[in-house]
């Protein structure tokens, strides 16, 4: 097997003053290739993979991602409708998060399974933290929505027609569908 085939990541140029010489006397490196250059850190010779501090909680990490989506709605670099779209994406993501991730934790608790996650947290503690963060962020979402809706209403040419009255036929049809 060709040694070059192992790492298909294109090498980034290393400035001449950072050229490596004599690899035998250099500690092993963990290299983070970035568009701005090569950053190297000495790697730990042995890591205790059972150490919970090495891991992020899966559910809380997912929640943090959703918060980053919400924060895009605050970025004035995006047009107004795109910022509203980020609010919609946040809502959809949170719905799925509760339907899948939170439901899974509640199911785990209902079964009496107190297995800790890789980060060492119990399901009950994770649910408590999710509740606190989710309540804060959903309130924040509504504040952002209110601000954007107000801005949209004040935009030139924006018109919000009044609701139309519902006729008897539509009421009858609706009543039949929602019994």
Give 4-50 pLDDT, tens digit per residue. Answer: 444 444 444 444 444 444 434 433 344 444 455 555 566 656 877 77
- Judged against a pLDDT cut of 70, whether residue 74 lies above it is answered with yes
- Which of 41-45, 60-64, 116-120, 146-150 is predicted least confidently? 41-45
pLDDT band at 73 (very low <50, low <70, confident <90, very high): very high
Local structure of 122: helix, strand or coil? coil
Per-residue confidence (pLDDT) for residue 42, from 0 to 100: 62
Cα angle 38-40-41, degrees, rounded to a multiple of 5: 160
Q: Please list, in sequence order, all residues whose beta carbon lies within 8 angstroms of the beta carbon of residue 65, skipping any fewer than 6 positions away.
A: 93
Cα(50)–Cα(134) distance, integer angstroms: 29
Cα(59)–Cα(142) distance, integer angstroms: 23
Give 162-178 pLDDT, tens digit per residue. Answer: 778 888 888 888 887 87
Alpha-helical runs (H) found in the chain: 58-72, 80-97, 103-110, 123-153, 168-177
Tell me the domains of the chain and their CATH numbers.
Answer: 53-153 (1.20.58.310)
User: Could you give phi then psi for residue 172, rounded to 5 degrees?
Assistant: -65, -45
Asked if 101 and 62 touch (Cβ cutoff 8 Å), the reply is: yes
CA atoms within 13 A of residue 7's CA, in its CB half-sphere: 7
- Judged against a pLDDT cut of 80, whether residue 54 lies above it is answered with no
- Judged against a pLDDT cut of 90, whether residue 71 lies above it is answered with yes
Give 128-138 pLDDT, tens digit per residue. Answer: 999 999 999 99
Asked if 102 and 119 touch (Cβ cutoff 8 Å), the reply is: no
Give 101-124 pLDDT, tens digit per residue. Answer: 999 999 999 999 888 888 888 999
Burial class (CB in 10 A: 0-12, 13-18, 19+), 123: buried
Please report, for residues 11, 85, 98, 115, 141, the alpha-carbon distance to residue 94 in angstroms, rounded to integers and kept in the order given: 39, 14, 6, 25, 11
Per-residue confidence (pLDDT) for residue 50, from 0 to 100: 76
The reported pTM is 0.60
Per-residue confidence (pLDDT) for residue 33, from 0 to 100: 46
């Amino acid at each position: 097997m060709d040694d070059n085939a192992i790492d298909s990541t294109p090498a980034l140029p290393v400035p001449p003053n950072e050229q490596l010489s004599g690899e035998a006397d250099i500690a092993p490196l963990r290299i983070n290739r970035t568009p701005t250059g090569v950053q190297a850190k000495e790697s730990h010779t042995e890591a205790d993979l059972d150490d919970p501090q090495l891991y992020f909680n899966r559910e809380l990490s997912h929640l943090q991602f959703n918060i980053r989506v919400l924060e895009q709605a605050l970025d004035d670099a995006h047009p107004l409708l795109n910022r509203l779209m980020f609010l919609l994406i946040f809502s959809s993501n949170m719905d799925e998060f509760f339907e899948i991730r939170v439901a899974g934790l509640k199911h785990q608790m209902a079964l009496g399974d107190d297995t800790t996650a890789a980060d060492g947290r119990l399901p009950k503690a994770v649910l408590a933290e999710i509740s606190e963060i989710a309540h804060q962020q959903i309130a924040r979402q509504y504040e952002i929505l209110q601000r954007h809706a107000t801005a949209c209403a004040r935009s030139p040419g924006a018109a919000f027609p009044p609701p139309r009255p519902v006729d008897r036929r539509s009421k009858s049809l609706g009543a039949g569908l929602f019994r």
